Amino acid sequence: MNTQKTSLDLTPFNQCLTALSDGAIGAAVSGGSDSIAMLTLLADWCAQNERNLFVATVNHNLRKEAASEAAFVAEFCAKRGIAHETLIWSGWDQQGNLQDAARNARKHLLSQWAKKNAIQTIMIGHTKDDQAETVLMRLLRGSGVDGISGIFPIEVADGLTWMRPLLEYNRQDLRDYLVSINQTWVDDPSNTETRFDRVKLRNILQDIKDAGLSTHGIMTTANNMKRARHYLENALSNAASDICQVTGAGSILIDKAKFCVLDAELRLRLVAHCLKQISGGIYPPRLNALEMVVGRLLSGQSASLNGCLLRLRVDKMIEISREPNAMSSQQGITNLFDNVWEITSAQKSSDVIVAPLGETGISQVTDWRELGFSRYALMATPAIWRKEELIAAPIAGMCNGYTCRLTWGYHEFLTSILTH
């Protein structure tokens, strides 16, 4: 790479990219200075290393400028022969927190785009400034070790690797770099709107700097919390390997006697991890809800949280399974069902509905007890319906030409505990 054109120390950027797996690389680029700097560096790196680069821009349809910003990125890519696609979000129901909804939608759209293009790694342009804002926000919200450890340079979620090669760089340094190579960018006007929490925090950080303090202390705290988080994750992985089982029906069994003697922090972490794994969700449940559910389990009571049912079985095992009422049906079998089930068939399948087996379906499968799965777990497994007629329920033993596979198992359950 030509290092004469910039005063940036490219060592952190290049070091992050050493963790890249083979195959195409994806990049999420908005057109702002951070993402354009990342794209410029990535384009050079991919050209030198003969790697295919794909770029996506998410248009949330919330600002009139969004279309022109996406066009700016598209033009940048076209000049360099880089494949670009604009992903449109049109699903906000005007309910809840807009920024949270937009973030979740963005991650979903990027995941679908990556899988469509056989991309395993998506690059995100988060910087040291984003890290400081995130840690401060979580401190103010009373987050624990995981929250205060901040953003990780590498995450694995939804079957993809999300990489942030700019976490060691300040935004201003990146802008200076772009100016030095005569590369423009677009500024998002919403970044100055104080109705958004992150903008308020950005202003607080500036006040901290004006008071003679730097963000270095915040970053040091985040790094200290990362070490603590790694320790807890390793402890949880060891505990889970000892007391947990994954069933073929997509539920998780936990030895209650051993669960009760775990450290309180590990109990909370274990249940949170199980809920994320089973539901296919991105974020863990809120701490107060999690504490209430763990309390019920310790006293032998059932509970539900994050679209999952948690109950104590007669064999003294805690079973956590998906809740059928929290699952959506889908037309045909082209996509993953409920984010975790892969269904295949040699038959024409566009006219069928995939939905949980439920009470109606399991009553039509007479020998399900011979399979060794609980009724609750089986009711949350995929079933193929044609109108009101049950066509197949592969996990329950009614195949009729369909196969069904859980996309994660015991190994993935354990390895996904650990962050990078």
User: Does the annotation flag 32 for ligand binding?
Assistant: yes
Q: Are 342 and 336 in contact (CB under 8 A)?
A: yes
User: Does the annotation flag 295 for ligand binding?
Assistant: no
Spatial distance between the Cα atoms of 40 and 76, rounded to a whole number of angstroms: 9
Task: From residue 307, give the alpha-carbon distance in Å to each of 29, 92, 122, 232, 394.
Answer: 33, 21, 28, 26, 22
User: Does the annotation flag 363 for ligand binding?
Assistant: no
Burial group, residue 195, by CB count within 10 angstroms (0-12, 13-18, 19+)? exposed
> Which residues have CB under 8 Å from 33's CB, separation 6+?
171, 174, 175, 178, 185, 187
Q: Identify the residue whose tokens are 């199980």.
A: 274
* Bridge partner residues of 398 (DSSP): 393
Report the SS3 class of residue 281.
coil
DSSP state letter for 318:
E
User: Does the annotation flag 34 for ligand binding?
Assistant: yes
DSSP 152-210: -SEEEETTEEEE-TTTTS-HHHHHHHHHHTT------GGGG-TTSHHHHHHHHHHHHHH
Q: Identify the residue whose tokens are 């970053």.
A: 219
Least Cα distance to 270 among 298, 296, 290 occurs for 290
Binding-site residue numbers are 30-35
Annotated binding site for ATP: 30-35
